[in-house]
Chain A
Amino acid sequence: MMMWARLGAVVTMVGMTFGSWTAHADDLRGTGDMGIVIERSTGSVLVVENTTMTQLARIEGLGDLSHASAVYSRDARYAYVFGRDGGLTKLDLLTAKIVARKIQSGNSIGGAISQDGRLVAVSNYEPGGVKVFDAATLELVADIPTGSKAVGLVDAPGNRFVFSLYEAGEIWIADMTDPAQPQITKFEDVGLQPYDALITPDGRRYIAGLFGEDGMAMVDLWNLDKGVTRILDGYGRGEEPLPVYKMPHLEGWTVAGGRAFVPAVGRHEVLVVDMETWQEVGRIPAHGQPVFVMAQPDGRQVWVNYAFPLNDTVQVIDTQSLKIVKTLTPGKGVLHMEFTPRGEAVWISVRDLDLLRVIDTRTFAELKQLPTTKPSGIFFTWRAARIGL
Chain B
Amino acid sequence: MEPKIKTKTLMTPKSALRRVALLVPAVLAASAFAVQTDLTAKRQGELLYILEQDCGSCHGLTLKGGLGPALVPERLRDFSTEDLTRVILDGVPGTPMPPWRPLLSENEALFMAQVLKSGDMVK
Chain A contacts to B: CB under 8 angstroms: 40-41, 64-67, 84-85, 107, 109, 125-126, 149, 151, 166, 193, 195, 211-212, 243-247, 308-309, 333, 351-352, 374
- Partner of B65 from the list A107, A333, A352 (CB cut-off 8 Å) is A107
Contact indicator A125/B57 (Cβ below 8 Å): no
In order of increasing CB-CB distance, the 9 nearest A-B pairs are A243-B98, A66-B61, A308-B54, A246-B57, A66-B56, A84-B60, A107-B65, A243-B99, A244-B98
Given contacts A40-B61, A84-B66, A109-B66, 16 further A-B contacts (CB under 8 A): A66-B61, A67-B60, A84-B61, A85-B62, A107-B65, A109-B67, A125-B66, A211-B96, A243-B102, A245-B98, A245-B103, A246-B54, A308-B57, A333-B53, A352-B53, A374-B53
A residues near B91, Cβ cutoff 8 Å: 243
Residues from chain A with a CB closer than 8 A to the CB of B60 are 64, 66-67, 84, 107
**CB of A61, distance to nearest CB on chain B (Å):** 16
- Interface of chain A: mostly helix, strand, loop or mixed: loop
- Total contacts A to B, CB within 8 angstroms? 68
For residue B80, give the distance in angstroms from its CB to the closest CB of chain A.
Answer: 24
**Total contacting residues, chain B, CB less than 8 A:** 22
The closest CB in chain B to the CB of A333 belongs to B53
Find out whether the CB atom of B65 lies under 8 angstroms from the CB atom of A64: no
Kindly identify, within residues 33 to 59 of chain B, every residue whose CB is under 8 Å from any CB belonging to chain A: 50, 53-54, 56-58
Given that A107-B60, A246-B57, A247-B58 are contacting pairs, would A67 and B98 also be in contact in the complex, using a CB cutoff of 8 Å? no
Q: Is the CB of A195 within 8 A of B67?
A: yes
**A195 and B96 contacting across the interface, CB-CB below 8 Å:** yes
Q: List 5 A-B contacts (CB under 8 A).
A: A84-B66, A109-B67, A247-B58, A247-B67, A247-B96
Residues of the A chain whose Cβ atoms lie less than 8 Å from the Cβ of B26:
41
Q: Which residues of B contact A65 (CB under 8 A)?
A: 61
Q: Which residues of B contact A (CB under 8 A)?
A: 26, 50, 53-54, 56-58, 60-62, 64-67, 91, 94, 96, 98-100, 102-103
B contact residues around A244 at 8 Å (CB): 96, 98
Contact A351 B98, beta carbon cutoff 8 Å:
no
Inter-chain contacts of A126 with B (CB < 8 A) = 65
Tell me if A64 and B62 are in contact (CB < 8 A): yes
Hey, which chain A residues are within 8 Å of B65, CB to CB? 107, 125-126
Residue of B nearest to A241 (CB): B98
Residues of A with C-beta under 8 A to B99: 243
Task: List chain A residues, Cβ under 8 A from B96.
Answer: 193, 195, 211, 244, 247
Contacting residue for A67 out of B57, B94, B102, B103, CB 8 A: B57
Contact A67 B62 (CB under 8 A): no
Chain B residues, Cβ within 8 Å of A67 = 57, 60, 66
Rounded to whole Å, the gap between the CB of B12 and the closest CB of chain A is 27
Q: Once the chains are docked, how many angstroms separate the CA of A84 from the CA of B59?
A: 10
For B53, list chain A residues within 8 Å (CB).
41, 333, 351-352, 374
Residues of B within 8 A of A40 (CB): 61
- Of the candidates A109, A212, A247, the one having the most CB atoms from chain B within 10 angstroms of its own CB is A247
Chain B residue contacts of A245, Cβ below 8 A: 54, 98, 100, 103
CB nearest to B98 among chain A residues: A243
Which B residues are CB-close (under 8 A) to A309? 103
The interface residues of chain B lying within 8 Å CB-to-CB of A351 are 53
Query: Min CB distance, A260 to chain B, in Å?
Result: 23
Q: How far is the CA of A65 from the CA of B67 in the complex (A)?
A: 15
Q: Which of B64, B66, B91, B103 has the most CB of A within 10 A?
A: B66
Nearest Cβ in chain A — how far from B63, in angstroms?
10
Is there an interface contact between A166 and B94, defined as CB atoms closer than 8 Å? no
Supposing A244-B96, A308-B54, A351-B53 touch, asked if A66 and B66 sit within 8 A by C-beta, the answer is: yes
Closest partner residue, chain B, to A196 (CB atom): B67
Alpha-carbon distance between A371 and B77 when the two chains are bound, in angstroms:
41
Whole-angstrom CA separation of A309 from B99 in the bound complex: 13
Q: Are B98 and A66 in contact (CB under 8 A)?
A: no
> Interface centre among A65, A151, A193, by most B CB within 10 Å?
A193
In the bound assembly, the distance between CA atoms of A214 and B66 in angstroms comes to: 23
**Selected contact of A247 from candidates B50, B56, B57, CB within 8 Å:** B57
* Interchain nearest-CB distance for B53 vs A (Å): 7
On chain A, the residues within 8 Å of B54 by CB distance are: 245-246, 308
State A247–B67 Cα separation when bound (angstroms): 9
In the bound complex, CA of A246 to CA of B98 (Å): 9
CB neighbours (8 Å) of A66 from chain B are 56-57, 60-62, 66
